[in-house]
Amino acid sequence: KIHNVAVLVGSLRKASINRKLALALAELAPPSLQLDIVEIGDLPLYNEDIDVNPAPLPYSRFRQQVNSADALLFVTPEYNRSVPAPLKNAIDVGSRPYGQSVFSGKPGAVLSASPGAVGGFGANHHLRQSLVFLDVPVLQQPEAYLGGAGSFFDEQGKLNDGVRGFLQKFIDAYALWVERQIKG
C-alpha cells in the first residue's frame, strides 16, 4: 500500500533551499511513499474570529489536504532560532477547531536546513515541542539538522552527492517508521 505524505515547507520563498530539499526527498522516497507539498503561504494569520462556519477557504483547503494524508513531513529553515511564522501558523490552523486537529496520530519527521552552522536545530526542536502536544509521533533517528545548506545545490540546481546520500538514508528510515506506526 502507498502512504500519502503531506509535506510542509517552512519557507515561502521561490528559491527556498528547504523547498528544494523537500522536492529532492519526494524523488528519493521509496515507492511505498507519495510525498506532496501542501502549500501554507495563503493561510491568513490564525484568528478565531474568522475561523467560523464556513471557515476561510484556505483553511478548509489546508485541513482537507492534511486530513487525507497518512503521514507528515516538515522541512524547514530556522528563523531567529525558532519555527518560521508561516509554518507555526499552518500548525495553528490545522490544530483547530479544538478536538478536530488534522495532525492527530499521524507519524511525522522533521528535517531542518540552514546556510548557518547550527542547521536549524532551534526550529527543529521548537517544532517537536508542538508535535508532542499535537500527538504526532516523530521519527527520532537519524536527526536532521543540515548546516552549510548554501552549497547543497550548484548553479544548475544539482544536489551535492553527500547530501543526497544523507537524504536517502533519512527518507528510508522515515518510510520504515511510517510503515511501523501505521501497522500499529
Q: Which residues of this chain interact with ligand FNR, rule CB under 6 A?
A: 11, 13, 16-18, 77-81, 114-116, 118, 120
Q: CB 181 → ligand FNR: shortest distance, Å? A: 27
Q: Which is nearer to ligand FNR, 16 or 101 (CB)?
A: 16
Q: Are 139 and 74 in contact (CB under 8 A)?
A: no
DSSP-derived letter for residue 85 is H
Measure the CA angle with vertex 101, ends 99 and 107; round to 5°.
130
Q: Which is nearer to ligand FNR, 121 or 137 (CB)?
A: 121
Q: Which is nearer to ligand FNR, 17 or 171 (CB)?
A: 17
Q: CA-CA distance, 40 to 43, in Å (whole number)? A: 6
Q: Which is nearer to ligand FNR, 3 or 78 (CB)?
A: 78
Q: CB 79 → ligand FNR: shortest distance, Å? A: 4
Q: Which is nearer to ligand FNR, 5 or 78 (CB)?
A: 78
Q: CA-CA distance, 54 to 59, in Å (whole number)? A: 10
Q: Which amino acid is at 20?
A: K
Q: CA-CA distance, 77 to 114, in Å (whole number)? A: 6
Q: CB 74 → ligand FNR: shortest distance, Å? A: 12
Q: CB 42 → ligand FNR: shortest distance, Å? A: 17
Q: CB 125 → ligand FNR: shortest distance, Å? A: 13
Q: How many CA atoms lie within 13 A of 168 on its CB side?
A: 7
